[in-house]
């Protein structure tokens, strides 16, 4: 089942896809632009993977690491479908990262890979922006690169794990202003989902609502104020986001 969360008429509603918009749990059907989209779940700890697709690592001129490159993200980074992400005025290279987001459904502590998928509740799409001007170390991205408010777009839907036939064979695509720039497949992950859960749960306890962003394939380009970025993953939907300038946010 696909389900999301939206704000409408002073309340938060569970929502479902509808051919001509979005259907609220009470049966009302609204246009996408009549609601404010929220992340499709209450997000716990966010674990983000860097360089987890071999061709993307080559794109950034880095070789495969012995252990997964993992960093944490704050809750203020999260934004929903159709949201607006700010591009700071001093940035010359800001890019999207279309990623499969894995949502933990039950507590995982020291889980072996053969049991790891039992702890997955489902999946959603993430667009995790990076601000390369601020990068100090590719191996451990600093706060300014990967923890900007509204820089991690999630949604629009949460999809139950049981409804995804083969999570290892999902196509990912990113369009900027209608032009396809990024195209990959989850089969090309360097470290797969069971291995990631085994690795992370060996370090700390994973809890329901925790999210693992599994990395992005090659094909990143700079985005500017006014650009529309669309991330698609087979079976999970279409995540839309718009870039805005400092001035758009009333800041100089």
The rounded distance, in Å, linking the Cα atoms of 14 and 16 is 7
CA angle, residues 37, 133, 86, in degrees to nearest 5: 25
The rounded distance, in Å, linking the Cα atoms of 125 and 213 is 9
| Sequence ranges of the domains in the chain | 1-38, 39-249
CATH classification for the domain delimited by 39-249, as one of 3.40.50.300, 3.90.850.10, 3.30.1280.10, 3.40.1390.10:
3.90.850.10
Q: What is the DSSP string of 87-125?
A: E-TT-S-EE--EEEEEEE-S-BSS--HHHHGGGEEEEEE
- At 94 the three-state DSSP class reads strand
Does residue 192 contact residue 166 with C-beta atoms inside 8 Å?
no
102-138 residue pLDDT tens: 999 999 999 999 999 999 999 999 999 999 888 766 5
87-107 residue pLDDT tens: 999 999 999 999 999 999 999
Does residue 242 contact residue 227 with C-beta atoms inside 8 Å?
yes
CATH code, 1-38:
2.30.30.370
Q: Tell me, what's the pLDDT at 67?
A: 82
pLDDT by residue for the chain (252 residues), tens only, comes to 899 999 999 999 999 999 888 999 999 999 999 999 999 999 999 999 988 987 644 555 555 567 888 999 999 999 999 999 999 999 999 999 999 999 999 999 999 999 999 999 999 999 999 998 887 665 556 788 888 999 999 999 999 999 999 999 999 999 999 999 999 999 999 999 999 999 999 999 999 999 999 999 999 999 999 999 999 999 999 999 999 998 888 654
Q: pTM above the 0.85 mark?
A: yes
């Amino acid at each position: 089942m696909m389900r999301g969360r939206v704000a409408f008429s002073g309340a938060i509603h569970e929502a479902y896809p509808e051919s001509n918009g979005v259907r609220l749990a009470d049966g009302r059907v609204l246009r996408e632009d009549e609601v404010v989209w929220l992340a499709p779940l209450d997000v716990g700890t966010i674990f983000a993977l860097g360089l987890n697709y071999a061709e993307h690592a080559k794109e950034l001129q880095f070789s495969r690491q012995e252990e997964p490159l993992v960093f944490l993200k704050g809750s203020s980074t999260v934004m929903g479908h159709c949201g607006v992400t700010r591009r700071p005025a001093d940035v010359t290279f800001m890019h999207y990262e279309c990623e499969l987001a894995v949502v933990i459904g039950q507590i995982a502590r020291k889980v072996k890979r053969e049991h790891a998928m039992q702890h997955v509740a489902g999946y959603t799409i993430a667009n995790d922006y990076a601000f390369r001007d601020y990068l100090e170390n590719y191996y451990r991205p600093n706060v300014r690169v990967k923890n900007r408010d509204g820089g991690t777009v999630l949604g629009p839907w949460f999809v139950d794990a049981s409804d995804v036939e083969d999570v290892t064979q999902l196509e990912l695509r990113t369009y900027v202003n209608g032009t396809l720039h990024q195209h990959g497949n989850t089969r090309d992950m360097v470290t797969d989902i069971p291995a990631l859960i085994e690795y992370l749960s060996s370090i700390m306890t994973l809890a329901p609502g925790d999210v693992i962003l599994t990395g992005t394939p090659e094909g990143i380009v700079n985005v500017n104020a006014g650009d529309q970025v669309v991330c698609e993953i087979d079976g999970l939907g279409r995540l839309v986001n718009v870039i805005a300038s400092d001035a758009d946010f009333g800041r100089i």
